[in-house]
A = this chain, B = another copy of it.
Amino acid sequence: MTFFRSRWVERPEHVKELADTALPEGFESAGYAAGIKPEGLDVGLLHSEREHTVSAARFTSSALVAAPVVVSQEADLTALRAIAVNSGNANVSDGERGMATARAQQAAAAEALDLEPAQVAIASTGVIGRELAREKLVAGIRHAAGGMAPNAQAFSDSLLTTDRGPKRACLEVSLPSGATVRLAAQAKGAGMLSPKFATMLCFVQTDAAVSAETADLLTGVTVKRSFDRCSVDGQLSTNDSVFLMANGASGVEIDQQTPDELALGEALDALLRQLALEMVADGEGATRSGRVVVRGGLDLVEPVARAIADSPLVKTALLGADPNFGRILQAAGQALAGHSAFVVDLSIEGRQVVSASTVLDMDKSEWKALEAAMESDEVEFELEIPGEGGETEVFFSDLSPDYVALNSAYSS
C-alpha cells in the first residue's frame, strides 16, 4: 500500500517510496526506553553526521510555549546538527525547573554527539504541569547516543503517545537535473495526549544540499499547506514543532529558484500533507476525516473554514455520516457574525445541496445516495461564500464518544 493513502494528496510522479524507516544518506538516529512513560520508547535522538548541515524550523504560535520550544528557539535554527526528543512529558508550566531540564536535555545531546548546545534542538510531548524526570532523560539521551543506527525505526517509535501507530516515510526524489536525493520525515500527533495534551512533532531529513534560505522557504510553504491545515479538536498545542535538516550527503546541490528546488518542494509538500492527514485520520477517537474547501472573500474563507472544521456539531454529524448541511451553514453564519446576512452554495461529495442559502429539494434516492457517499473514510465539503480572491481548505477529524472517554479519563 502506498504511503499516499489520502485522495487529497497527489503522489508526485517523481518520487519513489523506500522503506518507511529509511533515512537519507548521512543521518542516524536511535530510541530508548528511559522510563518517562510507564512503558515503551520515550527518548529519541536524531543526528546529521555532516558538518555542513542546513536546517529550518517552525513552532507553535501559542502564547503559552513549552520549555523545549523556548530552548530550541534560542538554538541556531539554520544549522542544527541534532534533535533530542522525549515523549511522556511535555515539560510545560514547570517554571525555572522545567527550563533547567530543557537545557540539560540539549546539553546532554550536545555532549554525547560532540556538538555545541546551539547545534541541538529539543522537543517534548506528553502530560503537562508535571516535573519531567531530568536524570532519566539525560541518561536516556546518553544511552541513545550509544546505539545510533542509519534508520528511523526506534526514533519514530519513541515520539508516539496516543498515536495508533508511527507516521513516517522515506522518499527517493528524482530531480529534473537527473540527480536523485532522499527525503524522509517522522511525525507524531493524534490530538490530545497521555491523556493531557495535544502535540504534533515532525522531523524532516534530506541528503540534498540546499541553502538556509531554501530550507526555510520550503519548510514555511509546506507547513502552511499541511499541518497548518489540520485540526483534530481545534486545540493549539504548546509544543508543536517541525524541524527540517538538509545535510548534502548525496552530493547533490540544489540551487535556489531552479526546477530542482521546485521538484524537492513538491515532494516535501506531498510528504507533509500526507503526514498531516495521518494525524487527522488518527485523531483521538476519530473514525473518519473531512475536508472543507471554502471559496470567497479573502479575509472570510479562513474563519469560516475553521468554524466548520472545529464545530462539534459538524464533527458529530461526520461521525454519524449524516449530511447535516444545516450545521455547516450555522457554523459559517457564526464565523461571520456581525456581517450582513450572507448567501452561500454548498456541495457535499461533489453534489450541490444548498443554492443561494436555500436547501435544494432531494428525493429519497438522492438523499440515500448522499448518505452512502458520506460513509467513506474521507468526506469533502465545498462552500462558496460572498466575495472573491480567497480559497482555503481545512482537514478535520470527526468527534466520537471515544474522544470524550479518552479525554475525561482520570489522569493523575
Residues of A within 8 A of B (CB): 61-65, 70, 92-96, 127-130, 192, 196-198, 233-238, 311-313, 316-317, 319-320, 322-327, 329-342, 354, 356-359, 367, 371, 399-401, 403-405, 407-412
Q: Which B residue's beta carbon lies closest to that of A127?
A: B326
Q: A330 near B237 (CB under 8 angstroms)? A: yes
> Which of A63, A130, A192, A405 has the largest number of chain B CB atoms within 10 A?
A63
Number of copies: 2
Closest Cβ of chain B: how far from A281's Cβ, in Å?
18
Q: B408 near A196 (CB under 8 angstroms)? A: no
* CB-contact partner of A404 in B70, B192, B323, B400, under 8 A: B400
Q: B95 near A356 (CB under 8 angstroms)? A: yes
Q: B312 near A64 (CB under 8 angstroms)? A: no
Residues of B close to A93: CB separation below 8 A: 326, 329, 354, 357-359
Q: Which B residue's beta carbon lies closest to that of A64?
A: B333
Bound-state CA distance A330–B411 (Å) is 16
Residues of B close to A338: CB separation below 8 A: 61, 63
Q: B410 near A330 (CB under 8 angstroms)? A: no
Closest Cβ of chain B: how far from A119's Cβ, in Å?
24
17 contacts between A and B (CB under 8 A): A61-B337, A61-B338, A62-B330, A62-B333, A63-B335, A64-B334, A93-B358, A93-B359, A95-B359, A129-B354, A235-B313, A236-B337, A312-B312, A316-B408, A320-B408, A320-B411, A403-B404
Residues of B close to A358: CB separation below 8 A: 93-96
